[in-house]
Amino acid sequence: MEEKQENKTNSPQAKITKTADKRAHRSQKVGVVFSDKMKKTVVVRVDRLVLHTRYRRYVRRTSKFMAHDELGATVGDKVRIVETRPLSAKKRWRVMEIVQKAAK
């Protein structure tokens, strides 16, 4: 039986990869910026289609999420938001990228 010797390094890169391996999958959503009246915060409206149980028709459901915005998204932009740690009382999402800018 051979013993495997681990390469013990205390470099920051090794710590980042270890924590990234343990981190759970963060959910992502794509929506439209509904409001940008706050500093570094936008309200993102996410639409989804749900099958009605009785009538078997698809019904549109809308959810609004407050997201931290460092990229400078404006009203009407299509953005991708990702789940993150609580940043304030209502913010648990952050803008990952601006998918499509709003037409002016």
Question: Residue 92 belongs to a domain with what CATH number?
Answer: 2.40.50.140
pLDDT on residue 16 = 53
Task: Give the number of domains in the chain.
Answer: 1
* Cα–Cα distance for residue pair 4/22, rounded to 1 Å: 22
pLDDT (tens digit, 9 = 90+) per residue, 31-56?
999 999 999 999 999 999 999 999 99
4 domain-assigned: no
Q: What is the mean pLDDT of residues 64-86?
A: 97
Query: Strands 58-68 and 28-38: what pairing?
Result: unpaired
Residues with Cβ within 8 Å of 84's Cβ and at least 6 positions away in sequence, in order, are 26, 68, 92, 93, 94
* Cα–Cα distance for residue pair 97/30, rounded to 1 Å: 10
pLDDT on residue 104 = 78
Which two structure tokens, joined as six digits, stand for 92? 């648990």
50 domain-assigned: yes
pLDDT on residue 70 = 96
pLDDT (tens digit, 9 = 90+) per residue, 93-104?
999 999 999 987
Residue type, 79: V
By three-state DSSP, how is residue 28 classified? strand
31 domain-assigned: yes
7 domain-assigned: no
Judge whether residue 63 has pLDDT over 70: yes
End-to-end CA distance of the chain: 69
Domain that holds residue 76: 25-100
pLDDT on residue 101 = 96
Judge whether residue 19 has pLDDT over 90: no
| C-alpha distances out from residue 35 to 45, 57, 61, 75, 82, Å | 9, 30, 18, 6, 18
